[in-house]
Structure 1
């Protein structure tokens, strides 16, 4: 049975106070909180078997290696990759995207076209712009509408035999829109283009099946999934990972090194140069175990209840406007109060112990589309409560009164 009060006991930080008030943490789209089970895994690693992996014959190294590779298999199973070596450990979603973009520098040529969407985080825009500068490829953009949805008829028009790559987020971090990635993937493949899906925002709320999606690359970050910061993963189809050159050179990613020539290791080590974030990888696996024990069906149902409850309460506030009103969205609400800067509202909410995100959320093109400087973003996780939403609503009303 899903019991939010029992779940909250797993998260030590939720019992603290901020500015003399109980913490109401509603910035989960930026970083989720970490349960004690994952914290214990981190402490256990550094207390009992901290050692470098893959290279040592001694007991600690072997124990660390086993735990690290077990975590890779957990992630493989979670995302339903066909092979464990299709899971590349990275420092996070941004690292994963840059790894792929760097690899395609040797594949694209001048005049090739790549497509991104208007709903992207900067980390799924800037690397592709840099790729275009290096190769002469042309960047095209799927436009959005007022509801915060991508216009699929325009996407269809952008596709051509010049299209080589398509990049889109599964869920918008700024608006919560769930994009129709099944359609986007299928249409890209029909014209022979590869596709990368940014799953940073989707992975905390649903369970992507990369084989069912038939996606070429899928990326995610542990710190949005109750795991540690500085850890993430890249899923890539084996055929694509074999085509792409290494992103970094160094130890671990080599088969043989001489001054005349270096040959590279097999997957996944080809893309994992240097000593990795060993503890982070193991803790990522522990976070996967934790959220799967709760169950994504239960998580999705409960978070949808929070979204509906918060939406109804917030729209009752006169002068409040919500951005991103797609019927297919996850537990994110971006809003503004008429005539008041979002930063000022966020500052007052912080004085009441309420943590929200303000600004453009690394999605400046979305804010430019709406002609606003940014929004106040409340993002909910399965450990939030309706009582916390009530506190948010009361805080927004107080901020409106103070700033009007």
Structure 2
């Protein structure tokens, strides 16, 4: 890839991430100081950075605890930062869930709870209900991640198999006022879906969760399936009086970040279009649609005239078929490289939190020559895609994109440049 194109695409990613910077996002959404205590809780890949920013902005005493992914912590003055496993929960996450629950115990109506919630919190807050164990919840997460189901379906199921998600953490804080400040990483920016809504309930029922399992043919672990088949521990109803003093604000999102990237491209003299900030679906299928648009622009100067930067966001999924290494953004790019082979484009797809799945890269770069370059290295790009092995492919090309943890999370960022 031309270094100028690589630098431009990196610049647009950096701009998108900066638009979701915790300090900038929180500054306009601080609640008024309470008469009583201020307790901060939080979960997600950017929770530590949100906590540090909140401490910097808050004029008054506070205490609290947040949980983030291993390696994603940062220094804070008062708020404790715990770290746990992602995307499959571990014992540290179990302890963190208990710590958050404990932090909101014994509060009164004059107290304020500020919940700092962002993507990744679902795995970081395990709390198996009834007689289920941590291993049961971990097995559920593995089954959901392998299913190809959209994040909304996965979270609807998680909320029915939890003691903390689906608004339960907010109910535990009653009668204190609860203000949830949410960095959205979900298509449509429904705050109840971010981190499976520990402080934000939704109306999805147990019957609907069971229907989602059937519709997506999710192979639930037997003990989880038995729990879901019963009626114990259903997720709270949003009409529960315990939510009467709860308020929710989305403070950063994919929409705002994509708009910032589009403005940056325009300032650099390149027209930009945003296809959508809420694209879902199988990564390789979404890639084929993007490839068709790129081919049309390159060959016929429509639906957008060249030059153009085509931007999109949302959250794709990957149905595991093989045994390879990769994430949804690198899989998107390998499929794009195959479907638009020979087309003069340069692309970057990356997760705005800095991690694409379970690897240490956020995503990768691709061009219309990526597939042929792989073949020159003795690799079959189609076989790599079939084995979900996109990370290995882009590693061989030297085209992985690894900015490190960004401190925020507004989901996938995709940019396709056609000169």
TM-score (norm: length of structure 1): 0.29
TM-score (norm: length of structure 2): 0.29
More RCO (CA 8 Å, sep 6+): 1
